[in-house]
Amino acid sequence: MENLRLRAVETTFCRKPVKITPPSGKVSEYYGSLTFNKSAMREFLPVDAYDNIINVIESNEKINRGMADQIAASMKAWALSKGATHYTHWFHPLTGATAEKHDSFIHPIEDGRAIERFNGSELIQQEPDASSLPSGGIRNTFEARGYTAWDPSSPAFIIDDTLCIPTVFVSYTGEALDYKTPMLKTVDALNKACVDFCHFFDRNVKNTTVTLGVEQEFFLVDAALYAARPDIMLTGRSVFGHASAKDQQLSDHYFGTIPERVREYMKDLEIESYKLGIPIKTRHNEVAPNQFECAPVFEEVNVAVDHNQLLMHLMQKIGDRHNLKVILHEKPFKGVNGSGKHNNWSVMTDRGDNLLSPGKNAKSNLRFTAFLSVVLNAINKNADLLRASIASAGNEHRLGAHEAPPAIISAFIGEQLTATLDIIEKTGTLKKASKSDNNILVPKIPEILLDNTDRNRTSPFAFTGNKFEFRAVGSSATCAKPMIVLNLMVADELARFNKEVKALIKKGEKKDKAIFKMVQKYVKESKRIRFEGNNYGDDWLAEAEKRGLSNVACVPRSFQAMVSKESKDLFVRNGILSEKEMDARYSINLENYTKKIQIESRVMGDLSTNHIIPIAIRYQNTLIENAIGLKQVLDEKTYNSISRNQVRTIKDISEHISEIKKNVELMLSERKIANRLEGDEEKALAYSDKVMPYFPIIRRHVDKLELLVDDKLWPLPKYRELLFMK
């Protein structure tokens, strides 16, 4: 019998990557060359049409038919000039991935020839028969029709031979079946609230932009080793594997030299990203061996989300050329750090001010502290919903574990800001900065803030100088989910803030005083959510409980916040999603969770029964034969004294085998019971409470066997092989 693992280990040394030929010239010369950006539009559209379209796109108006035909014609000409032969509406269904259905430009005409055709209606709307995509019961398969509609705010792009047009995906009856639809609505809601808010300080603000920069963590594993690990292939993580003698304890990987092979991969990834206008800026090693990170420069949130989805696709695609598999799972390897996606979020005005930048004068300081207090209070009121937005089967391993522990949501703002907010809280009356300054004296915020070094790496939601960084997002997740929730809760809270300030002004309060009063109120209200200490410490658990903060580490239970009365009110009040749509999303999340745990459980069972146990028995037989042989050649006394250890190993192996068998069977019967349950919620909870508890038990015995069985026989690539790039 051939050992797949040993063959894979040998293979890793001898394969060469198929590198991409870099385009000639500097990056700036080909950056964005595969996107239908403004410069391509200018080139391919008549001047007046271009002006018209930019106007419409920027003011969010509807595009009329004539205009659509014009854009479609120019988009087609551009795409054909780049060698595209197909087009597709590219959308974000509720699977969390992206979906596309390609159509050819080619259209037969009467004389037996064909032309390339693409008109306005094909650009604007399509009806993909996407009946197998999840809808949470909104659509029945027999009335599967849903349609996709063009999102002009995210530029179309070309991948391989296909023009991809970013679109929303809605059901025939108008319900959103994707993440982009509610995303765009929350951006709109937040923009409105922000503009209104900015008018307290500057009447010239007409528009704001929500910004997002996504730091993306991931692991790389050699493709041959990956192919020999059915668990990683099917579930994205290793369900078995004993820790390597060395992993991250020396911290020698973090920010170390990027291995040659990985650098070559990253180079190609960057080239392809740049062509698509994804502004990758940084790359470095992460904490765990074979763990890396790349991050783009921040962009408008809707575009940034699209780009992150696209980036994940590119990462896999380029990985294949380099014989590498990209592991996006949140916790692929036990005992070393998992991966997340840090979502850096802020709001920028069209006057160039970042609402989360501490100001230079009293006025901008007041604006900053006001906006900060609103964000903090939004987190305070909607922590459960925020947690639900990042909960997933993969992220469950990180909930309460040793990275960005999102089981308790809290916010970190740093020592200086804490001091500032404490002063605001206690200052009952307002002081004037000076005689000439009519503004309120908000305590001065020191310049040092931007470079502040006491960044708390343990906080799930941290202020980092001029943005908040939401670190609880899973590495494989779409950023749309948490960004929908964050945008919405801040929009809602800010609208309330604005309203109350206006009410105070109406009652005769001076504007600045009114704002300050509200800031003070918000600072007090949100105080319990602020935590500067170590989020990994046990004292935090007790402290959080005392403060009345919730702590939910179980994923299906954390989903429940999606359908609480408060959450439904929030979404409905702001016109983002209806109750029906929220129920649908809730059930999709549950179903997805159940399926993932079910697959993991099956993989564990199969691997144990068909790979691990037979090998363990084989090795055990060798030991038994050896013991019998010894008994034949040795006198009894010598035999008894030296065989003790060997016999003990035989016994140990037997015990592990029998424990594995027993627990796999018990797990199977729990799975059967769970499968018979009707409701999505009951089923997910049964998988979480009854099936999953067998995972660590079975794993413990398998991992022990890994240490006992002859290395040459062991069938699965080991952690030391998977985690140290050659």
**Residues engaged in binding ligand ADP (CB under 6 A):** 211-213, 215, 282, 295-298, 344-346, 354, 464, 466-467, 469
- Nearer CB in complex with ligand ADP: 172/255: 255
**Element holding 434 (H helix, E strand):** strand 432-434
Alpha carbon of residue 396 to chain centroid: 13
Question: Where does this chain touch Mg ion (CB under 5 A) — which range of 184-192, 323-331, 341-349, 511-519?
Answer: 341-349
Alpha helices in 82-156 (DSSP H): 120-124
Q: How far apart are the first and last CA of the chain?
A: 27
* Residue 297 interacts with which of Mg ion, ligand ADP, none, CB < 5 to 8 Å by class: ligand ADP
Asked if 342 interacts with Mg ion (CB under 5 A), we say yes
Q: Of the two residues 70 and 186, which places its CB atom closer to ligand ADP in the complex? A: 186
Distance of alpha carbon 354 from alpha carbon 158, whole angstroms: 33
Q: How far is the CB of 342 from Mg ion (least distance, A)?
A: 4
Nearer to ligand ADP, 353 or 512 (CB): 353
CB under 5 to 8 A by kind: which of Mg ion, ligand ADP, none does 467 bind?
Answer: ligand ADP
Q: How far apart are CA 615 and CA 609, in angstroms?
A: 10
> Taking the CA of residue 5 as centre, how many other CA atoms within 13 Å lie in the half-sphere pointing to its CB?
18
**Whole-number minimum distance, CB 462 to Mg ion, in Å?**
8
Cβ burial of 64 (10 Å; 0-12, 13-18, 19+) is exposed
State the nearest-atom distance from the C-beta of 471 to Mg ion, in Å. Answer: 7
Q: Which is nearer to ligand ADP, 455 or 557 (CB)?
A: 455
Q: Which is nearer to Mg ion, 31 or 219 (CB)?
A: 219
Q: Which of 215/247 has CB closer to Mg ion?
A: 215
Give residue 439's Cα distance to chain centre.
Answer: 42
User: CB of residue 208 vs ligand ADP: minimum separation in angstroms?
Assistant: 12
Residue with tokens 């009447």: 203
# chain residues binding Mg ion, by CB under 5 A: 2
Give the H/E segment covering residue 126.
strand 125-126
- The rounded distance, in Å, linking the Cα atoms of 417 and 356 is 12
In angstroms, the Cα distances linking 296 to 272, 274, 308, 446 are: 13, 10, 9, 28
Binding to Mg ion, residues 207-226 (CB under 5 A): 215
Helix (H) or strand (E) holding 149: strand 146-150
Q: 10 Å Cβ neighbour count for 522?
A: 26
Closest CB 363 distance from ligand ADP, rounded Å: 20
Residue 387 touching Mg ion (CB under 5 A): no
Q: Which does 346 bind (CB under 5 to 8 A by kind): ligand ADP, Mg ion, none?
A: ligand ADP
211 binds, among ligand ADP, Mg ion, none (CB under 5 to 8 A by kind): ligand ADP
Q: How far is the CB of 346 from ligand ADP (least distance, A)?
A: 4
Query: Which of 52/369 has CB closer to ligand ADP?
Result: 369
Q: Which is nearer to Mg ion, 213 or 715 (CB)?
A: 213
What is the pattern of x (binds Mg ion, CB under 5 A) and - over residues 164-203? ----------------------------------------
Min dist. Cβ of residue 64 to ligand ADP (A) = 34
* CB of 467 vs Mg ion, minimal distance in Å: 10
Residues 6+ apart with CB under 8 A from 597: 393, 687, 688, 691, 692
Q: Which one, 293 or 600, has the nearer CB to ligand ADP?
A: 293
Partner in contact with 702, chosen from Mg ion, ligand ADP, none, beta carbon below 5 to 8 Å by kind: none
Q: Which does 466 bind (CB under 5 to 8 A by kind): ligand ADP, Mg ion, none?
A: ligand ADP
Nearer to Mg ion, 253 or 718 (CB): 253
Q: Is 467 in the site for Mg ion (CB under 5 A)?
A: no
Q: Choosing among Mg ion, ligand ADP, none, which partner's interface includes residue 178 (Cβ < 5 to 8 Å by kind)?
A: none
Q: Rounded to the nearest whole angstrom, what is the least distance from the CB of residue 465 to ligand ADP in the complex?
A: 8
Q: Residue 120: name its binding partner from Mg ion, ligand ADP, none (Cβ under 5 to 8 Å by kind).
A: none
Q: Which does 298 bind (CB under 5 to 8 A by kind): ligand ADP, Mg ion, none?
A: ligand ADP
CB of 357 to ligand ADP, least distance (A): 8
Rounded to a whole number of angstroms, the minimum distance from the CB of residue 102 to ligand ADP is 31
Q: Which is nearer to ligand ADP, 272 or 353 (CB)?
A: 353
For the CB of residue 699, give the shortest distance to ligand ADP in the complex, in Å: 33
Three-state SS across 32-90? Answer: CCCECCHHHHHHHCCHHHHHHHHHHHHCCCCCCHHHHHHHHHHHHHHHHHCCCCEEEEE
Q: Which is nearer to ligand ADP, 124 or 390 (CB)?
A: 390
Alpha-carbon distance of 214 to 222, in angstroms, equals 25
Q: Which two tokens stand for residue 686?
A: 């049964």
Taking the least distance from each CB to Mg ion, the nearer of 215 and 353 is 215
Choose the one of ligand ADP, Mg ion, none that binds residue 295, judging by a C-beta under 5 to 8 angstroms depending on kind: ligand ADP
> Are 477 and 390 spatial neighbours (Cβ–Cβ below 8 Å)?
yes
Minimum CB distance to ligand ADP, residue 454 (Å): 13
Amino acid occupying residue 250? L
Q: What are the strands, taking DSSP E only, across 259-340?
A: 280-285, 291-296, 299-300, 324-327
Residues 6+ positions from 121 with CB-CB distance below 8 Å = 65, 68
Residue 376 CB, shortest distance to ligand ADP, in Å, is: 17
CA distance 606 to 213: 41
Q: Which is nearer to ligand ADP, 177 or 356 (CB)?
A: 356
Q: Which two tokens stand for residue 222?
A: 């050699």
- In the bound state, the residue with its beta carbon closest to ligand ADP is 213
Q: Residue holding tokens 């359908």? A: 563
CA dihedral 514, 517, 521, 527 (to 10 degrees): 120
DSSP assignment of 221-240 equals EEHHHHHT-HHHHHHSS-S-
CB burial of 296-322 (b: ≥16 within 10 Å; e: otherwise) equals: bebbbbbbbbbbbbbbbebbeebbebb
Q: At a CB cut-off of 8 Å and minimum separation 6, what does 677 contact? A: 683, 686
Q: Is 637 exposed, middle or buried (CB count within 10 Å of its CB: 0-12, 13-18, 19+)? A: exposed
Per-residue interface string for the shown chain with Mg ion, residues 553-592, x marking contact by CB under 5 A: ----------------------------------------
Question: Which range, of 337-345, 401-409, 533-541, 705-713, touches Mg ion by CB under 5 A?
Answer: 337-345
Question: Distance of alpha carbon 267 from its chain centroid, rounded?
Answer: 23
Cβ atoms of 353 and 364 within 8 Å: the answer is: yes
Partner interacting with residue 212 (select from ligand ADP, Mg ion, none; CB below 5-8 Å by kind):
ligand ADP
DSSP state of 687: I
| Closest residue to Mg ion, based on beta-carbon distance | 342
CB closer to ligand ADP out of 347 and 523? 347
Least distance in angstroms from the C-beta of 341 to ligand ADP: 11
Question: Which of Mg ion, ligand ADP, none interacts with 412 (beta carbon under 5 to 8 A by kind)?
Answer: none
Query: From the CB of 328, what's the least distance to Mg ion, in Å?
Result: 17
Using CB under 5 A, list all residues that contact Mg ion.
215, 342
